[in-house]
């Protein structure tokens, strides 16, 4: 009875996790779309502002050349248009920044969740393999004894390699002879020091 309830609970948890993941993906895609739209609108508004600013500059130069009331009205209209476009650009830039601010943590969280899920799947697979290996080992204890014999046979050649290393030891005997020669040279110095003390 408990096993059935446990199985039902795990199925319900899996369904809930799938629904949460679907909602998270949907929210992420909607935020990405909104951010992309805000960026497009921002670039369009910047282009409009740029052209309006260029037209305003031309209108001001013509106003300086000819100071008519029609040119003055044109300059005033263009100035208002440039100001409104500047406000629009700033509002769109703020909106794009807000969307980007929301989007980056969501992307990071989504990537982390995907990595955690992959790691959990790998861990579950390793646990299942280990459980299967233990079950096989319990069923067949004779094979373990055979495996121990093969490992013992493999250890025997390793001892031969150690014996080969012992052959290199005679080379080290040459070094003490040099040290002995150095000690003999040092001995006369001591005698000379002793003679100085006597004198």
CB 88 within 8 A of CB 41: no
Burial of 35 (0-12, 13-18, 19+ CB in 10 A): buried
Full-model pTM: 0.46
CB 88 within 8 A of CB 45: yes
Domain 2-122 CATH (choose: 1.20.1110, 1.20.1250, 1.10.287, 2.30.29): 1.10.287
Sequence spans of domains, the chain: 2-122, 162-198
Whole-angstrom Cα distance, residue 44 to residue 113? 36
List b or e across 157-177, with b for residues whose CB sees 16 or more CB atoms inside 10 angstroms: eeeeeeeeeeeeeeeeeeeee
Q: 141 φ, ψ to 5°?
A: -75, -20
Measured distance between the N- and C-terminal CA atoms of the chain, rounded to whole angstroms? 108
Helix (H, G, I), strand (E, B) or coil at 68: coil
Whole-angstrom Cα distance, residue 86 to residue 51? 12
What contacts 71, CB < 8 A, 6 or more positions away?
Answer: 59, 62, 63
For position 47, what pLDDT does the model report?
92
Tens-binned pLDDT, residue by residue, of the chain (199 aa): 677 887 888 888 888 888 888 888 888 888 888 888 888 988 998 898 999 889 888 888 888 888 788 888 888 888 898 899 889 888 888 888 888 888 888 888 878 888 888 888 888 888 888 888 888 888 765 555 555 555 555 555 555 444 444 444 555 555 555 544 444 555 555 555 555 555 4
For position 164, what pLDDT does the model report?
47
Q: Is the dihedral of CA 16, 18, 20, 23 positive or negative?
A: negative
Residue with tokens 């080379």: 171
């Amino acid at each position: 009875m408990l096993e059935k309830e446990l199985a039902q609970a795990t199925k319900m948890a899996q369904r809930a996790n799938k629904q949460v993941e679907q909602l998270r993906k949907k929210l992420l895609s909607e935020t990405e779309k909104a951010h992309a739209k805000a960026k497009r609108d921002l670039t369009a508004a910047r282009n409009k502002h740029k052209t309006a600013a260029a037209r305003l500059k031309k209108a001001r130069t013509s106003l300086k050349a000819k100071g008519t009331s029609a040119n003055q009205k044109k300059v005033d209209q263009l100035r208002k248009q440039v100001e409104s476009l500047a406000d629009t650009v700033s509002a769109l830039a703020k909106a794009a920044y807000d969307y980007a601010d929301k989007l980056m943590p969501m992307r990071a969280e989504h990537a982390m969740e995907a990595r955690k899920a992959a790691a959990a799947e790998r861990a579950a697979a390793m646990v299942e393999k280990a459980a299967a290996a233990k079950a096989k080992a319990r069923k067949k204890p004779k094979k373990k004894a055979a495996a121990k014999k093969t490992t013992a046979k493999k250890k025997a050649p390793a001892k031969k390699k150690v014996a080969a290393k012992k052959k290199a030891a005679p080379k080290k005997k040459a070094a003490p002879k040099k040290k002995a020669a150095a000690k003999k040279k040092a001995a006369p110095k001591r005698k000379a020091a002793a003679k100085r003390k006597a004198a």
